[in-house]
Structure 1
Amino acid sequence: MFKKCTEVRQWLSGFEGEWMFAGGWAIDLHIGEETRHHEDVEVAIFREDQQALYKTLKTWDLHIVEEKELKRWEGENLTLPVHEIHASSQEGHHFEILLNEQNRRRWQFRRDPSITFETSRMQLQSEQGYAYLNPEIVLLYKSTHTTEKDEQDFVHVFPYLNEHQKEWLKQALMHHQPEHPWLEALLY
């Protein structure tokens, strides 16, 4: 179980910054089992650690998503709106790194910086020892362009969210996506 997460941990073993699993893997790590097939692996780091990441992955083929196109990353400093790095190894391994914003020890939602979260609490630890992004933050990201797999993730993880997590997600959605259908479950 979580074999892919073990591989990623090996690839990032020399990375000196803080990192955590994001996306669907974070949801499954919170639940404690793999609930669906994952096409990709995403990890979250803070933007200020991008140079440490570049050094760690210097043998990998690195691309950024800029204006919906993949462009080679040569280590230049990445600023918003660029936030997504695709890494590919010569052995055929792939994963994505998502740059996250923080200010004064608070994570800031890239799409609306007024939505924040204490950085000291944004990362949880799975039973297997994997660091992962809090599921309520993951769901907030998934709320913008919600797909079928995002709906599955919400349904699977909802029973595993505590009241604090549900309340934070409810408040964030009311601010960011006030018409989102997940609010119906969160309001009751």
Structure 2
Amino acid sequence: MSPLDDEAWEAWSPHELGQRLREATLPWYVAGGWALDIWHGKQTREHEDLEFVVIRNDADHFRAILHELEFFTVKDGTTEYLPPAANLPSDVWQLWGGDMRHGCWRVDMMMEPGTPDLWIYKRDRAIQMARSDAVRVSETGIPYLAPINVMLFKAKHCRKKDQIDFNFLRPRLSLEEKEQLTTWLNELHPGHEWIKKLPIS
């Protein structure tokens, strides 16, 4: 099966995904810009996709629940079909879910290390915290990644939309959150422009 065009996104909203995953028994959460908007309680900008994250060993559980989609592996710029009965390749950490009937992508399923109780930053596994601290739940029951954890991911590339997200959330961060994000940035991205914009006193 051939993949859809990379730009053929008509992503579900977090609510639409949450409805489909309401029977899920394993951890998952919304990530990226949508996670920030769940935290803000409103949509602050357009989102081209919908990223959600599962523990790597749980991927088949979510593939089975989202059986209306066809999944494709995404690695090094290449997208390849992954049949429902096929095992997840050991070097793949990202799947796109395609709604082939409507000709569009619906979700970007990211995978991470860790356990149901422990969140591990996949780009540097020395950064770990209780999953209950890393993942919050909205009033409508949607799990989402905490804002400073989202920004840790966004700091690496710091695209225009990442800067917009940072500017919008910075005034709402607590002192403790600013301190933690500053610590992470100093460790992984010393000299990052956001550090001087996070006064912690």
Q: Given the superposition, is the C-alpha separation of residues 17 and 105 from structure 1 closer, same or farther in structure 2, using an over 3 Å criterion? A: closer
- In the other structure, the counterpart of 1:147 is 159
Q: Matches of 1:54 and 1:94 in 2, distance apart?
A: 13
1: CA distance, partners of 2:126 / 2:157: 20
Q: Distance in 1 between matches of 2:147 and 2:36?
A: 6
Are residues 1:4 and 2:16 paired?
no
Task: Tell me: CA distance 1:136–1:79, structure 2 relative to 1, closer, same or farther (3 Å).
Answer: farther
For 1:103 and 1:61, the matched residues in 2 are separated by 26
The answer on 1:72 being equivalent to 2:81 is yes
Deviates more, 1:87-96 or 1:170-179: 87-96
Relative to structure 2, which stretch is displaced further, 172-181 or 92-101?
92-101
Secondary structure of the residue aligned to 1:86 is: strand
Residues 170 and 198 of structure 2 are in contact (CA less than 8 Å); yes or no, is this contact kept in structure 1? no
Contact 1:44 1:133 in 2 (8 A): no
| Amino acid across the alignment from 1:22 | A
Residue aligning to 1:44? 53
Aligned pairs for 1:68-107 within 5 A: 68-74=77-83, 75-80=86-91, 82-89=92-99, 90-91=101-102, 92=104, 94-102=106-114, 105-107=117-119
Distance between the aligned counterparts of 2:14 and 2:63, measured in 1? Answer: 20
Q: Which of 13, 17, 21 pairs up with 2:30? A: 21
Contact 2:55–2:115 (CA<8 Å) still a contact in 1?
no
Gapped runs of 5+ residues in structure 1?
none
Amino acid at match of 1:77: L
Q: Using the alignment, how far apart are the partners of 2:70 and 2:140 within structure 1?
A: 29
Aligned to 1:63: 72
Aligned Cα RMSD in Å? 1.9
TM-score, normalized by length of structure 2? 0.84
CA shift in 2, pair 1:171/1:104, >3 Å:
farther
Is the CA contact (8 Å cut-off) linking 1:21 and 1:133 kept in structure 2? Answer: yes
Offset of 1:112 from its aligned partner?
1.0
Q: Does 2:128 align with 1:116?
A: yes
For 2:114, what is the secondary structure of its paired residue? strand
Distance 1:125 1:104 in 2: 15
Show structure 2 runs of 5+ residues with no match.
1-11
1:72-106 Cα offsets, whole Å, 9 max, x none, are: 123413435x2211101234451111112115943
Q: 1:105 to 1:17 in 2, by over 3 A?
A: closer
CA contact (8 A) 1:26 1:135 kept: yes
1:124: how far off? 1.0
Would the aligned equivalents of 2:51 and 2:109 in 1 still touch at CA under 8 Å? yes
Letter in 2 for 1:73: L
Q: Does 1:158 align with 2:170?
A: yes
